[in-house]
A = this chain, B = another copy of it.
Amino acid sequence: MKNVVAPRIAALHGYVPGEQPSDAERVIKLNTNENPYPPSPRVATAVADAASRLALYPAPLADPLREAAAARYGVDPEQVLVGNGSDELLAICLRACACDGGSVAYPVPTYSLYATLASIEGARAIEVPMEPGADLPEALLMSGADVIFLCSPNSPYGTPIRLNEIARAAERAPGLVVADEAYVDFGGESALELLVDHPNLLVLRSFSKSFSLAGLRLGLAFASAALIAELAKVKDSYNVSRLAIAGGVAALNDYEWMTGSVQKVARTRDRVIETLRARGYRIEDSRANFFWLDCGDDGGDVVSRRLRDRGILVRFFDTPVLRSGVRVTVGTDEDMDAFLGAMLD
């Protein structure tokens, strides 16, 4: 057979998403940071309405959602780029700013997709170890990378990066600084307010977590209008469907639904962490919809398998730094009581 695939791609290991059981399988799903509560009912209504106009292409820049996001977050519509999930927007940042042998830097551990996206783009990945809650490492600020990814709150620990640290990164970095705020609604501080002073800063948001819309695939990038116009050049021409645009607008217009859902998750999170701490577990404070559980001598692999046997999925990452524990998404109180029962009995 002809080798039609580039050698670099043939050698690449693709991203491995967390297990997605079929909809028929009954499990307690605490492995991919989904929201256990449903999205605003207005989303389904808006989607059903938009389903009557599917014969026509969507607006290439998803104008109705761009406008709704601008109004909600206090920026101009031209400062918003809508993506097919924030994953697409991360890839777009690399395509525009770290192509042709560029480089990308990020503290580790963090969202494991960053490394995969760097491999796909052929960008050099500069991974700088960082303790949860620490200041940004000097090696990161000095990296000279074309793109710096800062996940805040960060996965898998749930710890935020302070705003003055993000501002410092934007000031010192010669390239693009991306504040990936997929989890910020659960208790982080947003870097959106820094955009006005930092034209090389981009803030990313996702509808997958706080808005309970992982299945819709929708993300937002906020930056200067000039930067957004450049990034838009490298996206697919019609990257967001009519259904996603309509659903996203409806979700933003029912913002209180989201904040209510987020408050419930945060309360459950804090209760579960306290319970585990009382039983001797050391757990970082989390500002996200998950927390990191160090499993001690058992290690994360054994614990995640034991939980799997009881119908509970958590996330195990088989890397030197992370194989000692698991990342646990915060579900409903009932889900988490089952989790605590399985962990503590």
Contacts and interface: CB of A to CB of B under 8 A. Distances in A.
A208 B99 contact: no
Contacts of A59: 20
B1 A232 contact: no
Interface in A55-85: 55-60, 84-85
Interface residues of A, number: 84
A244 B54 CA distance: 11
Nearest to A44: B51
A192 B68 CA distance: 43
A296 interface: no
Contact of A29 (B56, B174, B241): B56
Interface string A100-135: 101000000000010000001010000000000000
Contacts of A53: 23, 215
B241 A200 contact: no
A6 B99 contact: yes
Given A51-B47, A85-B238, A238-B87, A57 B96 contact: no
A206 to B, nearest CB: 11
Nearest to A239: B84
A9 to B, nearest CB: 5
Interface in A241-255: 241-244, 247
A237 interface: yes
A182 to B, nearest CB: 13
A97 B5 CA distance: 5
Interface string A121-155: 01000000000000000000000001000000000
Nearest to A176: B4
A194 interface: no
B2 A175 contact: yes
A43 interface: yes
A205 interface: no
A105 B212 CA distance: 43
A226 interface: yes
Given A20-B60, A56-B215, A4 B227 contact: yes
Interface centre among A23, A34, A243 (most CB of B within 10 A): A243
Contacts of A240: 217
Contact of A36 (B2, B55, B146, B242): B55
Interface stretch (A10-18, A161-169, A268-276, A297-305): A10-18
12 contacts: A6-B102, A17-B57, A32-B57, A34-B55, A44-B48, A44-B54, A54-B215, A54-B247, A91-B236, A95-B120, A113-B237, A217-B240
Interface of A: 1-2, 4-6, 8-10, 12-15, 17, 20, 23, 29, 32, 34-39, 43-44, 47-48, 50-60, 84-85, 87-88, 91, 95-100, 102, 113, 120, 122, 146, 174-176, 199-200, 208, 212-217, 224, 226-227, 230-234, 236-244, 247
A-B pairs, top 4 by smallest CB distance, nearest first, are A14-B233, A215-B242, A54-B215, A44-B51
